[in-house]
A and B are shown apart, each in its own frame.
Chain A
Amino acid sequence: MHRGNAFRTVVLLLGLGFLYLPIVVLVIYSFNASRLVTVWGGFSIQWYVALFANAPLMEAAWTSLKIATLSASLATVLGTLAALALVRHGRFGGRSLFTGLIYAPLVMPEVIVGLALLLLFVSVGADRGLWTVVVAHTTLTLCFATVIIQARLASFDRALEEAAMDLGCPPAKTFFTITLPLIAPAVGAAFLLAFTLSLDDLVIASFTTGPGATTLPMRIYSQVRLGVTPEINAACTVLIAFVAVGLGLSFILTRSGARHRDEAAGEASADAVAERHAEVRS
């Protein structure tokens, strides 16, 4: 038993190490006082200071944030609509095909998606820049948003909407006063996931961007080709922090939504049962 436990601990540590050791090393070296990336010279936050003074890098970060916000917003709205269509419209013709088409980009190689989008933008004569990246990232993140919101909608009690309409609430208003507040955690989680995916992306952005719209991952990648500086480590650490917070919030939102659901669906607590019996006796 104890041996088994020790074995499992070792395996777990190996796995986690495999996954996170490179990132830990990068984060540690971002606080390095030395100019040399691989030689520890004491603790310092000078590279963070330098980072915020690096105008091109900060500009790229700003571009990335704009793109992530815009594309995540678009993906969340479209994803909600797609999820509604998939869950609510029963067995419309081509439903399974549509479902498949929504899921396919999850496993599509990014190079292909990027190339396809580039060809599309060129053929319609769109000027490549910030907006083409926004559209491309919406395409990328839409399917993730749809999957998250669809899962929540599938377990949503339609009787709640029917009750609202029964009480005189028109269908559109019902969506905004009943449905949307109740699926809000899933919508929020979808937004945050889309946001972090967009912030992460290098490949699709490289294909679809144009002059003046360099994203943070692209800037970092091009600088790394000239040699890694501790400043890049600092930039990456900040980026990792953003993504971690985003994913963490997304996870918490999905879970709190699920817990709320369970409580609502579950029977009354022991406390309430006792109260109920008291009621009967009185």
Chain B
Amino acid sequence: MATRNEHVAVGAVRRNFAPWSEPGAEPLIRFDGVTKRYGAVTAVDALSLSIYEREFFCLLGPSGCGKTTLMRLLAGFETPDEGRVLLAGVDQAAIPPHLRPVNMMFQSYALFPHMSVEGNIAFGLRQEGLPRDEIRARVDDMLRLVQLSGLAKRRPDQLSGGQRQRVALARALAKRPKVLLLDEPLAALDKKLREATQFELMDIQMSLGTTFLVVTHDQEEAMAMADRIAVMGHGRIAQLDPPNVIYEQPASRYVAQFIGDVNLLEGEVTGRDGDLCTVSCPAVGSALLVASTEPSAPGQAVAVAIRPEKMRLGRGLPPPGTANAIVGEVWDIGYLGDWTTYVIRLADGHLLRASQANVARFVEQPLTWEETVHAVFAPDAAVLLSR
């Protein structure tokens, strides 16, 4: 979609983009203590959230966590039971969906089957009563943007899944909304196409400067695209941070487990030396050293969270005196081509996952089943979680 040069520019803009950390910045979208209930179920629970102009924002969570409801509240298809939804400082409560300056790309795409591609994209512009020439020009622009110029006269049922997705995107963007809402935009595409489309979406968002609010349950999708991710659970925000922070410094066990693979070793803080905490984990048998800036008192119950790729595997028992060495036997091996995941069974039956990059094509003596191994990690490779 974009040339290489544009990519460089995009990168430069992205690196310095962090309006949420600027003290005086006014958010474009604000959810202010919003609650939405369906009968006895609370879909959104007293949630507050600010989203800034030009941001690529992802709401990430399992199904039923309230992320779609939050998006529909902004589009106007649901009304909050409590709290306010503000867009550019204006309370949206009294504004019906067809008058809100946001557009939505639906999960099912919701293309009008009785209209051509062109008719679908022009639909929103016609509602504005724009002159015919202007509509033509804008539709042509949109078709170019999503690379469908040759297919203007086709009907939705004559398009492939990827093409339908582009038409839906073009239709939602045609009105130049302040905010584009995308409900699981890539869920219906196959893996290869999904990856290609991710980058296209990012380029389009950058070049138009539209604020994107994406709802997804796919963490890879969110990680790849978003400036910030709000991980949701049970109608609340569990963590709101840029993707790398979400991954490397999860705020709770819930977030750590939802994003990527993680080993959680439950234990108890026994001592502290500066930023270095000593944690005794019954599953490991020895004490673990974990770097943590969070205040934690001895006796506090915590979990040591280590990502599988942050552990190094060694054959046999560790050299004496090695810190953070966990001994076990290889229980299962999953070869993925670029990575191999080893499941290691500890003495008490706990299973630990460790992945190693396959940097060499041939290994003389690969680790094999039931072999005794030790996994080692650096104190700052793990995170202490108290929640």
Interface of A with B (CB < 8 Å)? 157, 159-160, 162-171, 174, 178, 181-182, 260, 263-264, 267-268, 272-273, 275-277, 279-280
- B271 within 8 Å of A by Cβ? no
A171/B159 in contact, CB under 8 A: no
B103/A268 in contact, CB under 8 A: no
Complex CA–CA separation, A268 to B111 (angstroms): 14
- Given A157-B110, A178-B112, A182-B114, the answer on whether A166 and B97 have CB atoms closer than 8 Å is yes
Q: Which 9 A-B pairs give the minimum distances between C-beta atoms?
A: A167-B124, A272-B160, A168-B127, A159-B110, A163-B110, A276-B160, A268-B160, A165-B97, A165-B98
Smallest Cβ-Cβ distance to A163: which chain B residue: B110
Identify 19 new A-B residue pairs, CB closer than 8 A, beyond the known A167-B171, A268-B160. Answer: A157-B108, A159-B106, A162-B97, A162-B104, A162-B110, A166-B97, A167-B175, A168-B124, A168-B127, A168-B128, A169-B98, A260-B113, A264-B156, A268-B159, A268-B161, A272-B161, A272-B163, A275-B163, A280-B196
Encode B75-94 as 1/0 by CB contact (under 8 A) with A: 10100000000000000000
A162/B160 in contact, CB under 8 A: no
Main secondary structure of the interface of A (DSSP, over half): helix
Q: List 15 A-B contacts (CB under 8 A).
A: A162-B104, A162-B110, A164-B123, A166-B98, A167-B103, A168-B98, A168-B127, A169-B123, A268-B159, A268-B160, A272-B161, A272-B163, A276-B163, A279-B162, A280-B192
In the complex, chain B residues whose CB is within 8 Å of the CB of A160:
110, 112
Cβ of B160 to closest chain A Cβ, rounded Å: 3
Cβ of A34 to closest chain B Cβ, rounded Å: 54
Interface residues of B in 151-169 (CB under 8 A from A): 156-157, 159-164
Complex CA–CA separation, A169 to B97 (angstroms): 9
In the complex, chain A residues whose CB is within 8 Å of the CB of B123:
164, 167, 169
Cβ of B193 to closest chain A Cβ, rounded Å: 5
Complex CA–CA separation, A160 to B171 (angstroms): 13
Complex CA–CA separation, A260 to B114 (angstroms): 10
B98/A267 in contact, CB under 8 A: no
Complex CA–CA separation, A270 to B106 (angstroms): 24
Encode B196-213 as 1/0 by CB contact (under 8 A) with A: 100000000000000000
- Given A162-B106, A166-B98, the answer on whether A276 and B112 have CB atoms closer than 8 Å is no
Cβ of A25 to closest chain B Cβ, rounded Å: 45
Select B193's contact among A170, A264, A279, beta carbons within 8 Å. Answer: A279
Cβ of A167 to closest chain B Cβ, rounded Å: 3
With a 10 A CB-CB cut-off, give which of A171, A181, A264 has the most chain B CB atoms: A264
Complex CA–CA separation, A165 to B377 (angstroms): 54
With a 10 A CB-CB cut-off, give which of B102, B107, B192 has the most chain A CB atoms: B192
Complex CA–CA separation, A272 to B103 (angstroms): 27
In the complex, chain A residues whose CB is within 8 Å of the CB of B99:
168
Complex CA–CA separation, A162 to B172 (angstroms): 12
With a 10 A CB-CB cut-off, give which of A160, A163, A263, A272 has the most chain B CB atoms: A163
Smallest Cβ-Cβ distance to A279: which chain B residue: B162
A162/B98 in contact, CB under 8 A: no
In the complex, chain A residues whose CB is within 8 Å of the CB of B114:
181-182
Smallest Cβ-Cβ distance to B189: which chain A residue: A276
- Given A167-B175, A169-B127, the answer on whether A159 and B108 have CB atoms closer than 8 Å is yes
In the complex, chain A residues whose CB is within 8 Å of the CB of B97:
162, 165-166
In the complex, chain B residues whose CB is within 8 Å of the CB of A268:
159-161, 164
Smallest Cβ-Cβ distance to B158: which chain A residue: A272
Encode B173-206 as 1/0 by CB contact (under 8 A) with A: 0010000000000000010110010000000000
In the complex, chain B residues whose CB is within 8 Å of the CB of A159:
106-108, 110
In the complex, chain A residues whose CB is within 8 Å of the CB of B77:
162
In the complex, chain B residues whose CB is within 8 Å of the CB of A162:
75, 77, 97, 104, 106, 110
Interface residues of B in 60-77 (CB under 8 A from A): 75, 77
In the complex, chain B residues whose CB is within 8 Å of the CB of A267:
161
Smallest Cβ-Cβ distance to B113: which chain A residue: A264
Cβ of A274 to closest chain B Cβ, rounded Å: 9
Complex CA–CA separation, A120 to B78 (angstroms): 45
Smallest Cβ-Cβ distance to B107: which chain A residue: A159
Complex CA–CA separation, A37 to B96 (angstroms): 69
